[in-house]
Amino acid sequence: MSDDADPRVPQDNAAGGLSSLPADTKLTATKQRWAREGKFLTGRVTRPEEDRLPPGQHLVRDWPVLDLGMQPRVPLERWRLDIDGAIENAVSWDWDTFKAQKQTREVTDIHCVTTWSRYDNRWEGVATRDLLDVVMPKMEATHVMLHSYDGYTTNLALEDFAAEDALVVHSWEGQPLTREHGGPVRLVVPHLYFWKSAKWLKRIEFRTSDKRGFWEENGYHNHADPWKEERYSADE
């Protein structure tokens, strides 16, 4: 799940056992209507190095949460991150093993498809590049699918997952990541719209082909570059 879209309502909010998504919710229906209407598109394109704030975005001081009313509770003693698929070294990290990995700090911006952006967020976690060194993707691996504890999925090209500032994070602004913001662990990929940064991360699946995730199958862009306003699938 991501703050950008938060489209998933789990069937229960205990850790595990979240295997299905609802056919519709008020937020899901609204965001699907936005996709059909092309809401928020400005028609302008800027490059990241020329304009820090992508077109169609506005700055906020707080970190907004778009919530469907249910957020999975994932106690640290039950949390696991499974990493599998087209890799040489599949792993299943518990909390202690995850925290024992090399830790990295980054300061990056957030850009939500619903048009808000927040600058200078301080994160701490495991860099995706360090994670790749551990699991060693096979030559044929091209994409990853992220799976969340609430049943949410989103897909990324391997090169986006491996971005220099991408992290699997457990802390924000020096504090443990809260449940409402995706704790205990979420992905952060700053150069894409924030629905690609899955909350409540449960599994990272390496794939030899692309497969669309939840929002990508429901009217939203497969890549999601904010500076190109890649908001909706109609723009592909």
Residue 182: Cβ-neighbour burial (10 angstroms; 0-12, 13-18, 19+)? buried
- Produce one character per residue of 103-136: b if its CB has 16 or more CB atoms within 10 Å, e if not: ebebebbbbbbbbbbbeebebbbbbbbebbeebe
Return the amino acid letter for 125.
G
Contacts of residue 49, defined as CB under 8 A and 6 or more positions apart, other chains included, come to none
- Note the pTM of the prediction, 2 decimals: 0.82
Tokens at 66, concatenated: 């778009």
User: Residue type at 90?
Assistant: A
Q: Where are the domains of the chain?
A: 26-221
- Give pLDDT tens digits along the chain (236 positions): 556 554 433 333 334 444 455 555 656 666 666 676 665 565 544 455 568 999 999 999 998 886 555 689 999 999 999 999 999 999 999 999 999 999 999 999 999 999 999 999 999 999 999 999 999 999 999 999 999 999 999 999 999 999 999 999 999 999 999 999 999 999 999 999 999 999 999 999 999 999 999 999 999 999 999 999 999 998 89
CATH classification of 26-221, choosing from 3.90.79.10, 3.90.420.10, 3.20.20.100, 3.40.50.10210? 3.90.420.10
